[in-house]
Structure 1
Amino acid sequence: MPLIRPFPGLRPAPGRADDVVAPPYDVLNTEEARERAAGRPWSFLHISKPEIDLPEGTNPFAAEVYAKGKENFERMLAEGVLVQDGEPCYYLYRLIMGEHVQTGLVAAASVAAYDAGRIRKHEFTRPDKEDDRVRQIDSLGAQTGPVFLTYRHNTTIDDLVERLTAAEPDMDVTADDGVRHTLWAVSDTGAMQTITDTFDAMERLYVADGHHRSAAASRVAAKRREANPEHTGDEPYNFFLSVIFPDVQMQILDYNRVVTDLGGRSEEAFMEAIAEAFTIEDATAPVRPRASGEFGMYLGGSWYRLRIKAERIPEDPVGRLDVSLLQNNLIEPVLNISDPRRDKRIDFVGGIRGLGELEKRVDSGAMAAAFSLHPTSLEQLMAVADANEVMPPKSTWFEPKLADGLVSHLI
């Protein structure tokens, strides 16, 4: 089987994209989704967050939620709001957020390649979140949330994308957050073959975001494979919905930390403790770190610039990450927070919220200190994946986010 292949996408009917396109399911809570879908009966949130159509307080993982999602999905199909293309296609998907532009390829990626490690992952997954995606995919018979993949850019693909996106797009929508989503269907057989062959020649792809969706797709494929005595490997369930972007266009923002207390220390004692691993300078403005190994700290109404001491930087690709340097030299030894995935004394703030959000959380009294980090680079992410290692939790924040509802993959 090829690494990727075209597929007959399920898309909003002409003129319906504005009605359908919605934020990804995992960036909104139930109340936010209910508000965003109010007055929008065809919003994809009715499929991706179907608890919004059930009584308040409904457990979002209850069986009736998945049943409601299926009902809403089938209604959109029956009403012609969502329509499947007649033939397999690739799709080019451009996101524009402010000055940032990135254009990726929507494709069906091989589950076998994912299982074999040719599509590399870099995060652990949580069983409960995996189970949720398995139930959602199984219930709908479709993958509606794309996995965000990346690759080391390729001039053949670059040139082809430039040529194909010179045509009029099939869909062009600006979402309510100001991000523009543009889609071109690629049905030319020669162009599709070039895309398939060029990607198949690549050594590997990388999961940037969507580890639970890709893991769930693998589980669903295994389940259907076992239940299908006529299994050939060519069935749609052997592939998963993905959008694949070149590394040079990806935008990773900082993923910052806030903590509820100073581990029982006074501010003075806390500063003395962290001085073992960091140099500390007063700052007159909010600190956005300029390079790896540099951190901002907001404490007691003041900003400080921290720099990790050189001898504290290890050689291994995980240990060298800024999130690891902060965790291993301050958060765990000084604050005694050894499991940031579960410890309630630490929280994480995506860089899209800005440094003002860090000040707000501390000034409110809800948090004792905040730390701003330099963004993890894509090269660092790839190095961790290539080493078959796992990144710490909350290491990357990708922007802009992919929309739900633009293209789905029926399995």
Structure 2
Amino acid sequence: MNTAGTADVPARTGLDLTPFRGLRYDPDRVGSLSAVTSPPYDVVVRPDGLLHLESADPHNIVRLILPQATTPGTRNDQAAATLRRWISEGVLRIDPEPALYVYEQLDDEGMVQRGVIGALRLSEPSEGVVLPHEDVMPHVVADRAALMRATSANLEPLLLTYRGDGSASGATAVIERTAARPPLFSTTTEDGFSHRLWAVTDPADLTEVRTDLAGRQALIADGHHRWATCLRLRAEHPSPSPWDHGLVLLVDTARHPLRVRAIHRLLHQLPVQKALAALGDSFRIRSVDGPLPGALSALSAAAAEGNAFLLAGDGTFHLVDRPSPDLLARTVPADRPEAWRTLDATVLHAALLDHVWRIPDVPEHIAYIHDTAATVAKAERDGGTAVLMHPVREEVVRDLASQGVTMPRKSTSFGPKPASGLVLRTLDH
């Protein structure tokens, strides 16, 4: 069985997290665990990052989460065949008994993040158990769904957060006790993060975690498209089935606050000077000195006073702020809370992309990139425009999500994100 129950757990109106038999790399069959991991599929900076990861080890997880072939169907079939081959060859092995997995990330500055990985029962946003905070792009959901259908697997976990009461009890107590034991493995990836994983199989521990989480609500921090994909595929399979659950990492942000960073936009077909000229007098435009850290400081200062963006791609930086009230009144929908109407992402998409620049939100025109320097470098190399964003505060995200209001897609980047390739979940038995 892929999932397993534990001792009696109270009826739950909140999170329903169950153990599963994890599919994990055999350390003796790969060069190193760090060489087979990857950032989440949508964080890999293509094509440079993808090629780097593919060459790191022939069994790197990107060959499953971002298979490369000429057509989507061929890519997905290739990923499914690769997964089956790695399992048959023993490169990936399924754990002998169901478990929840405690996962720890530690960066080189001493920041520790711990959470628990499990199979979470899926729920619709209307149920108020798992709250999305961003819109999704239908073509991405369709792409991820096709890959998941082909592989019958959860290839990487979503990142969800919840707010505990700050006490060392329940799930927190189990996580801390478990982290004091020797881990299943420990590895350090090239980004400087060390990763450790433990299996929790004791029935009493499993019950303690599940009982604690049963009354809690979670926010999707990273993985909106994967969550939407899981919901789509659940509807395609008669219940009960393994498709009723999705693979998640749950982190208590009362104990381990996440970092919130911006996701930047790369406008492939819009040169910087053309972008600036189109603004007219609808924004204030100022040149700011580099290098990049100094320009980002100027963006931060401007963002504290209102909507602000940093444009780059022509070898310098241009601070764009103080949008015209008339422009905002004409372009930003008025039927949403003020916190939503004043988001930088809202103003960018409603006023700039849709109205001023008239750029369709499709991959041919817009790329979403997490790495700031990479966004600027690609814009300079390709002759496009990098639109650098300032991050949104977590409290704003959670407040809007609790109201059922979703932000424009790719508005935030919570982290650190779980590495892909540490534990997978199969769905075919």
After superposition, the Cα gap between the structure-2 partners of 1:330 and 1:164, relative to the gap in structure 1 and judged at 3 Å, is same
Instruction: Write the mapping of 1:176-255 to structure 2, written as runs, cut at 5 A.
Output: 176-202=190-216, 204-225=217-238, 231=239, 233=240, 235-247=241-253, 248-255=256-263
Counterparts of 1:31 and 1:289 in 2: how far apart (Å)? 29
**Residue 24 of structure 1: SS of its match in structure 2?**
coil
Amino acid at match of 2:78: K
C-alpha displacement at 1:158, in angstroms?
3.5
Report the 3-state secondary structure (helix = DSSP H, G, I; strand = E; otherwise coil) of the residue aligned with 1:383: helix
**Is the contact between residue 275 and residue 357 of structure 2 (CA under 8 Å) also seen in structure 1?**
no
- The alignment partner of 2:421 has SS state of coil
Change (3 A) 1:344 1:92: same
Q: Partner of 1:317 in structure 2?
A: 339
The answer to whether residue 95 in structure 2 is matched with residue 85 in structure 1 is yes
| Structure 2 CA distance for aligned equivalents of residues 20 and 363 of structure 1 | 31
- In 2, distance between residues paired with 1:364 and 1:50? 25
Give aligned pairs, total. Answer: 385
Q: 1:353 aligns with which of 367, 372, 381?
A: 372
- Structure 1 residues 212, 189: closer, same or farther in 2, change over 3 A? same
**Alpha-carbon separation, structure 2, partners of 1:304 and 1:43:** 40
Match of 2:6 in 1: none
Distance 1:136 1:361, change over 3 A: closer
Out of 73, 90, 98, which is 2:108 matched to? 98
Q: Secondary structure at the match of 2:422?
A: coil
Q: Is the 8 A contact 2:120 2:248 kept in 1?
A: yes
- Which amino acid letter does the alignment assign opposite residue 272 of structure 1? D
Match of 2:67 in 1: 50
Does the CA-based 8 Å contact 1:337-1:343 persist in structure 2? no
Distance in 2, matches of 1:114 and 1:265, equals: 37
For residues 185-238 of structure 1, give each alpha carbon's deviation from its aligned partner in whole angstroms, at most 9, with x where no partner exists: 112222211110111011x2121221221222222222221xxxxx5x3x3221
- C-alpha distance in structure 2 between counterparts of 1:87 and 1:266, whole Å: 59
Contact 1:119 1:207 in 2 (8 A): yes
Matched-pair contact (CA < 8 Å) for 2:35–2:56: no
Superposed, 1:300-379 pairs within 5 Å as 301=316, 303-304=318-319, 306=321, 315-328=337-350, 335-337=356-358, 339=360, 341-342=361-362, 348-350=368-370, 352-354=371-373, 358=376, 360=377, 366-367=383-384, 371-379=387-395
Contact 2:352 2:358 in 1 (8 A): no
C-alpha separation between the residues in 2 aligned to 1:348 and 1:65? Answer: 22
Do the aligned residues in 2 keep the contact of 1:337 with 1:345 (CA within 8 Å)? no
- Counterparts in 2 of 1:58 and 1:158: CA distance versus 1, 3 Å: same
1:67 alignment partner in structure 2: 77
Closer, same or farther: CA 76–371 of 1 in aligned 2, 3 Å: closer
SS at match of 1:38: helix
For residues 112 and 363 of structure 1, the distance between their equivalents in structure 2, rounded to whole angstroms, comes to 43
- What displacement does 1:365 show? 8.3
Deviation at 1:271, TM superposition (A): 6.3
Cα deviation per residue 1:283-315 (whole Å; 9 max; x = unaligned)? 554124045435354578455474569997985
More deviation in 14-23 or 146-155? Answer: 14-23
Which residue is equivalent to 1:228?
Answer: none
CA change 1:201–1:223 in 2 (3 A) is same
Following superposition, the deviation at residue 18 of structure 1 comes to 4.0
Alpha-carbon spacing, 1:162–1:67, altered in 2? closer, same or farther (3 Å): same
Q: Give per-residue Cα distances to partners, 1:57-101, cap 9 Å, x unaligned.
A: 622x12x33222222212222222222222221111122333243
Q: CA deviation at 1:108?
A: 0.8
Equivalent of 1:274, from 283, 301, 307?
A: 283
Structure 1 residue ranges without an equivalent (≥5):
52-56, 226-230
User: 1:118 is matched by which residue type in structure 2?
Assistant: V
The amino acid that maps onto 1:152 is: R
1:22-41 pair list within 5 angstroms = 22-28=38-44, 29=46, 32-38=49-55, 40-41=57-58
Deviation at 1:363, TM superposition (A): 6.1
Residue 392 of structure 1: aligned partner = 408
Instruction: Please show how residues 170-181 of structure 1 align to structure 2 within 5 Å.
Output: 170-181=184-195
SS of equivalent to 2:21: coil
Structure 2 distance, partners of 1:222, 1:107, is 21
1:141-162, Cα deviation, whole Å (9 max, x unpaired): 2211211211123433444423
Q: What one-letter code is carried by the residue in structure 1 that aligns with 2:362? A: R
Unaligned runs of 5+ in 2: 1-10
> Is the CA contact (8 Å cut-off) linking 2:134 and 2:411 kept in structure 1?
no
Select 1:6's aligned residue among 4, 10, 19.
Answer: 19
User: What whole-Å deviation, never above 9, does each CA across 1:87-128 have from its counterpart, x for those lacking one?
Assistant: 221111122333243222101111146673421112333333
Q: Confirm or deny: 8 A CA contact 1:101 1:249 kept in the other structure.
A: no
Q: What TM-score, normalized to structure 1?
A: 0.79
2:281 partner SS: helix
1:392 maps to a residue whose letter is: P
C-alpha spacing 1:261/1:282, structure 2 compared with 1 (3 Å): closer
Taking only aligned residues, the RMSD between alpha carbons, in angstroms, comes to 3.4
Distance between the aligned counterparts of 2:363 and 2:76, measured in 1? 30
**2: CA distance between counterparts of 1:343 and 1:65?**
18
> Within the alignment, does 1:163 sit opposite 2:182 as a pair?
no
